[in-house]
Amino acid sequence: MILRRFILGAVAGLPILAAASMAQAQVAPDAAKAFIQQSGQQLVTIVNSGASTAQKADELRQLVDQIVAVDQVGDYVLGRYKNVVTPDQHSQFLALFHQLLSYNITYQIKAYQGITFTVNGSSVMGNDTIVDTTITRPGQAPSDVGWAVDEVNGSPKIVDVIVAGTSLRITTRNDYASVVTSNGGQISALLTAMQSQIDRHKADN
Protein backbone atom coordinates (compact mmCIF):
# COMPACT_ATOMS: atom_id res chain seq x y z
CA MET A 1 0.00 0.00 0.00
CA ILE A 2 1.01 3.63 -0.40
CA LEU A 3 1.91 4.33 3.16
CA ARG A 4 4.53 1.63 3.24
CA ARG A 5 5.93 3.01 0.00
CA PHE A 6 5.94 6.49 1.49
CA ILE A 7 8.03 5.35 4.42
CA LEU A 8 10.28 3.21 2.24
CA GLY A 9 10.89 6.18 0.01
CA ALA A 10 11.51 8.49 2.91
CA VAL A 11 13.56 6.27 5.18
CA ALA A 12 14.96 3.65 2.85
CA GLY A 13 15.81 6.08 0.15
CA LEU A 14 15.82 7.90 3.88
CA PRO A 15 10.94 7.20 6.87
CA ILE A 16 -2.49 16.80 -2.32
CA LEU A 17 -4.89 18.56 -3.02
CA ALA A 18 -5.34 20.69 0.05
CA ALA A 19 -8.42 20.54 2.17
CA ALA A 20 -10.38 23.75 1.99
CA SER A 21 -9.30 24.75 5.49
CA MET A 22 -5.60 24.55 4.63
CA ALA A 23 -3.89 27.61 3.14
CA GLN A 24 -1.15 26.54 0.75
CA ALA A 25 1.61 28.54 -0.94
CA GLN A 26 4.93 27.97 -2.64
CA VAL A 27 8.11 27.87 -0.55
CA ALA A 28 11.26 29.66 -1.73
CA PRO A 29 14.00 27.19 -2.78
CA ASP A 30 16.45 28.29 -0.07
CA ALA A 31 13.78 28.04 2.63
CA ALA A 32 12.69 24.60 1.42
CA LYS A 33 16.30 23.43 1.36
CA ALA A 34 16.87 24.63 4.94
CA PHE A 35 13.65 22.91 6.07
CA ILE A 36 14.63 19.57 4.53
CA GLN A 37 18.18 19.89 5.91
CA GLN A 38 16.82 20.35 9.42
CA SER A 39 14.16 17.65 9.04
CA GLY A 40 16.66 15.18 7.60
CA GLN A 41 19.09 15.69 10.43
CA GLN A 42 16.30 15.17 12.96
CA LEU A 43 15.36 11.92 11.24
CA VAL A 44 18.96 10.70 11.10
CA THR A 45 19.46 11.52 14.78
CA ILE A 46 16.41 9.46 15.74
CA VAL A 47 17.19 6.48 13.49
CA ASN A 48 20.88 6.30 14.48
CA SER A 49 20.30 6.75 18.21
CA GLY A 50 20.74 4.00 20.75
CA ALA A 51 17.12 4.27 21.90
CA SER A 52 14.76 1.32 21.83
CA THR A 53 12.78 0.55 18.69
CA ALA A 54 9.58 1.60 20.44
CA GLN A 55 11.05 4.95 21.47
CA LYS A 56 12.45 5.57 18.00
CA ALA A 57 9.09 4.78 16.43
CA ASP A 58 7.31 7.15 18.80
CA GLU A 59 9.79 9.94 18.08
CA LEU A 60 9.48 9.36 14.33
CA ARG A 61 5.69 9.50 14.50
CA GLN A 62 5.93 12.85 16.25
CA LEU A 63 8.45 14.11 13.69
CA VAL A 64 6.31 13.00 10.74
CA ASP A 65 3.30 14.80 12.22
CA GLN A 66 5.42 17.95 12.40
CA ILE A 67 7.02 17.89 8.95
CA VAL A 68 4.50 16.07 6.71
CA ALA A 69 1.11 17.45 5.67
CA VAL A 70 -0.52 14.10 6.47
CA ASP A 71 -4.12 15.23 6.04
CA GLN A 72 -3.26 16.95 2.76
CA VAL A 73 -1.58 13.83 1.46
CA GLY A 74 -4.60 11.82 2.57
CA ASP A 75 -7.00 14.10 0.71
CA TYR A 76 -4.79 13.97 -2.37
CA VAL A 77 -4.72 10.19 -2.51
CA LEU A 78 -8.51 10.11 -2.20
CA GLY A 79 -8.51 12.00 -5.52
CA ARG A 80 -11.95 12.34 -7.10
CA TYR A 81 -13.49 10.26 -4.33
CA LYS A 82 -12.96 13.15 -1.92
CA ASN A 83 -16.02 14.71 -3.54
CA VAL A 84 -18.28 11.72 -2.86
CA VAL A 85 -17.30 10.51 0.61
CA THR A 86 -19.61 11.35 3.45
CA PRO A 87 -18.22 13.48 6.31
CA ASP A 88 -18.09 10.37 8.50
CA GLN A 89 -16.23 8.39 5.82
CA HIS A 90 -13.78 11.22 5.34
CA SER A 91 -13.04 11.41 9.05
CA GLN A 92 -12.65 7.64 9.22
CA PHE A 93 -10.34 7.64 6.20
CA LEU A 94 -8.00 10.28 7.66
CA ALA A 95 -7.92 8.48 11.01
CA LEU A 96 -6.99 5.19 9.29
CA PHE A 97 -4.43 6.98 7.13
CA HIS A 98 -2.70 8.35 10.24
CA GLN A 99 -2.75 4.92 11.89
CA LEU A 100 -1.27 3.19 8.87
CA LEU A 101 1.48 5.77 8.66
CA SER A 102 2.31 5.18 12.31
CA TYR A 103 2.35 1.39 11.97
CA ASN A 104 4.53 1.53 8.87
CA ILE A 105 7.02 3.80 10.62
CA THR A 106 7.20 1.34 13.50
CA TYR A 107 7.67 -1.58 11.09
CA GLN A 108 10.30 0.07 8.90
CA ILE A 109 12.45 1.60 11.64
CA LYS A 110 13.61 -1.86 12.68
CA ALA A 111 15.51 -2.19 9.41
CA TYR A 112 17.52 1.04 9.42
CA GLN A 113 20.68 2.10 11.20
CA GLY A 114 23.73 4.11 10.23
CA ILE A 115 22.02 6.25 7.58
CA THR A 116 23.42 9.54 6.31
CA PHE A 117 21.48 12.34 4.67
CA THR A 118 22.92 14.87 2.22
CA VAL A 119 20.95 17.82 0.84
CA ASN A 120 21.82 18.80 -2.72
CA GLY A 121 19.93 21.39 -4.75
CA SER A 122 16.40 22.76 -4.73
CA SER A 123 14.16 24.06 -7.49
CA VAL A 124 10.59 25.08 -8.20
CA MET A 125 8.50 22.52 -10.10
CA GLY A 126 4.90 23.48 -10.75
CA ASN A 127 3.28 24.44 -7.45
CA ASP A 128 5.90 22.64 -5.35
CA THR A 129 9.50 23.26 -4.40
CA ILE A 130 11.58 20.11 -4.84
CA VAL A 131 14.61 19.49 -2.66
CA ASP A 132 17.00 16.85 -3.98
CA THR A 133 18.82 14.68 -1.43
CA THR A 134 21.06 11.64 -1.32
CA ILE A 135 20.54 9.05 1.39
CA THR A 136 22.98 6.25 2.16
CA ARG A 137 22.89 3.16 4.35
CA PRO A 138 25.75 0.79 5.15
CA GLY A 139 26.04 -1.88 2.45
CA GLN A 140 23.49 -0.21 0.19
CA ALA A 141 23.85 1.93 -2.91
CA PRO A 142 23.05 5.63 -2.35
CA SER A 143 19.45 6.62 -3.06
CA ASP A 144 18.42 9.90 -4.65
CA VAL A 145 15.21 11.17 -3.06
CA GLY A 146 13.28 14.32 -3.92
CA TRP A 147 11.07 16.04 -1.36
CA ALA A 148 8.16 18.19 -2.51
CA VAL A 149 7.64 21.04 -0.06
CA ASP A 150 4.71 23.46 0.17
CA GLU A 151 3.81 26.10 2.71
CA VAL A 152 0.73 24.91 4.59
CA ASN A 153 -0.92 27.28 7.07
CA GLY A 154 2.24 29.34 7.25
CA SER A 155 4.75 26.50 7.73
CA PRO A 156 6.75 24.39 5.25
CA LYS A 157 5.50 20.81 4.99
CA ILE A 158 6.44 17.75 2.93
CA VAL A 159 3.62 16.88 0.52
CA ASP A 160 5.30 14.24 -1.63
CA VAL A 161 8.37 12.01 -1.90
CA ILE A 162 9.88 11.30 -5.30
CA VAL A 163 12.00 8.17 -5.69
CA ALA A 164 13.47 7.09 -9.05
CA GLY A 165 11.33 9.72 -10.73
CA THR A 166 8.12 8.29 -9.25
CA SER A 167 5.75 10.40 -7.17
CA LEU A 168 4.64 8.36 -4.19
CA ARG A 169 1.47 10.34 -3.63
CA ILE A 170 0.38 9.69 -7.22
CA THR A 171 1.25 6.01 -6.94
CA THR A 172 -0.75 5.77 -3.76
CA ARG A 173 -3.71 7.59 -5.25
CA ASN A 174 -3.72 5.08 -8.10
CA ASP A 175 -3.53 2.19 -5.62
CA TYR A 176 -6.47 3.50 -3.62
CA ALA A 177 -8.52 4.24 -6.73
CA SER A 178 -7.94 0.68 -7.90
CA VAL A 179 -9.35 -0.69 -4.65
CA VAL A 180 -12.45 1.50 -4.92
CA THR A 181 -13.13 0.86 -8.62
CA SER A 182 -12.64 -2.89 -8.26
CA ASN A 183 -15.32 -2.86 -5.57
CA GLY A 184 -18.02 -1.07 -7.50
CA GLY A 185 -17.00 2.43 -6.49
CA GLN A 186 -17.61 1.77 -2.80
CA ILE A 187 -15.45 3.91 -0.50
CA SER A 188 -16.35 1.49 2.28
CA ALA A 189 -14.23 -1.16 0.54
CA LEU A 190 -11.14 1.05 0.82
CA LEU A 191 -11.83 1.74 4.48
CA THR A 192 -12.21 -2.00 5.10
CA ALA A 193 -8.93 -2.73 3.30
CA MET A 194 -7.12 -0.08 5.35
CA GLN A 195 -8.54 -1.45 8.61
CA SER A 196 -7.48 -4.97 7.60
CA GLN A 197 -3.93 -3.77 7.04
CA ILE A 198 -3.92 -2.14 10.48
CA ASP A 199 -5.22 -5.37 12.02
CA ARG A 200 -2.38 -7.32 10.34
CA HIS A 201 0.15 -4.88 11.78
CA LYS A 202 -1.33 -5.33 15.25
CA ALA A 203 -1.15 -9.11 14.93
CA ASP A 204 2.52 -8.92 13.94
CA ASN A 205 3.50 -6.80 16.94
pTM above 0.85, yes or no: no
Q: What pLDDT, on a 0 to 100 scale, did the predictor assign at position 100?
A: 86
Q: What pLDDT, on a 0 to 100 scale, did the predictor assign at position 58?
A: 87
Lowest mean pLDDT among 10-19, 60-69, 145-154, 182-191: 10-19
For the stretch 111-130, pLDDT in tens is: 677 888 899 999 998 888 99
Longest dimension (CA), the chain: 48
Task: Kindly tell me if the per-residue pLDDT of 21 is higher than 70.
Answer: no
Task: Kindly tell me if the per-residue pLDDT of 133 is higher than 50.
Answer: yes
Task: Kindly tell me if the per-residue pLDDT of 18 is higher than 90.
Answer: no
Q: Which has more confidence, 85 or 2?
A: 85
In the chain, the domains with their CATH numbers are: 2-204 (3.10.450.710)
Q: What pLDDT, on a 0 to 100 scale, did the predictor assign at position 11?
A: 44
pLDDT range class, residue 54, cuts 50, 70, 90: confident
